[in-house]
Structures are given as structure tokens and as C-alpha cells.
Amino acid sequence: MSKENNTDFNISRERMIELLNEDLAGEYQAIIAYVVYSQVLKGAAYTDIARELEAHAGEELAHAIKIAKQIDYLGGMPLVTPKPVKTSTDPVEMLQADLKNERETVGRYRERIRQAEAMGEFALSETLRGIIMQEQEHEIDLSSALGIEVPPAINPREKNASEPRHEQAASSRH
Ligand SMILES: [Fe+2]
Ligand SMILES: [Fe+2]
């Protein structure tokens, strides 16, 4: 893969709206996962993290509203469908699913911030910076509940390169 430079982040307003709608679908997914997981995580070992997940749910809702506002500002229509939520009754699997989603989210927003800057949309990039700070906090909370170091964010470009199924899905949308 070629080294990234600034021109890699030049996208149209229409493409930004599309990508923000994918981000919004991720925020909806996060709201649902945290609402459910915070209530079904059982056991003394998970009391603290269950409370934290409940707080995450509220933060994800605030993110969804901010992203929808930016989509509207750019002249787009915020979509209404969440990404699929993984269901599990196993606490570790739930936390791992949340952590993987957060890593993808951080990777996506890192790219989105660069794209917003390249467009000169500084209010958007500022909004995204506020959101990404909280997503990183979520990664920390989940990692410490799992007793692991925070794993690296998942770069959406590398993800596409290593998972051809996703790449196909992404290209069929154009
Ligand atoms: Fe979020
Ligand atoms: Fe999050």
C-alpha cells in the first residue's frame, strides 16, 4: 500500500455524507449494544464495568446526535439503520465485541478528521475530535475490564485490504 499523503483524504461532500452515515450506523449499533450489555452483564466481577457500559450508552447517543447534526448541516439525510449488533450471553465475548467495535470506530474517526480538515470543515473535525476522545476512553474502560493493554485502532483502509469480503461490500455501494 502506498504511503498516505494529504490528497488521499480529499473527498467530495457527497462522499463525506455517505461516510458519516456509516459512522452514524456504528453509533446506533454502539447505543444498542451498551444498553443491552450493561443490563445483562452479571456477576460480582462485572458490576463496575456494567455501570460504565450504561454511561457509554448515553455518550454514544450524544455522538449519534452530533453526527446526525453534521450530516444535516452538509445537506444530507441521516439514515436510520444500525450496524448489526452481536448477541452473546458470555460477558467476555460481549466486552470483546464492544472493544472491537470501538477500535474500528477510532480508526474510522481518525480518517474522518483528516478528511474533514482536507475539506476545510473545521467545525466537523472539532466535533469528531471530541467524539474520538470519548471513544478512546471507551477502549480503555473495556480493555481494563478484560485485563489487557489497549489494542491498536483498526485502520479502515487496512481492514479493507485484509478482508476482501468487506472490500466487495464497500465497492458495491458506489
Ligand atoms: Fe460513539
Ligand atoms: Fe464508544
- 155 grid coordinates: 485502520
- Residues 9/111, Cβ–Cβ less than 8 Å: yes
Distance 133 CA to ligand 2 centre (A): 9
Residue 171 has pLDDT above 50, yes or no: no
167 CA → ligand 2 middle, Å: 24
Report CA(21)–ligand 2 centroid distance (Å). 16
Tens of pLDDT along 1-23?
445 566 679 999 999 999 999 99
Q: What is the DSSP letter of 27?
A: H
pLDDT tens digits, residue range 92-127? 999 999 999 999 999 999 999 999 999 999 999 999
Residue holding cell 461532500?
Answer: 13
Q: What is the pLDDT of residues 45-80, one digit of tens each?
A: 999 999 999 999 999 999 999 999 999 999 999 999
Cα–Cα distance list, 42 to 117, 126, 135, 167 (Å): 43, 37, 24, 37
Q: What is the pTM of this model?
A: 0.88
The CA 168 to ligand 2 mean position distance, Å, reads 26
Ligand 1 midpoint to CA 136 (Å)? 10
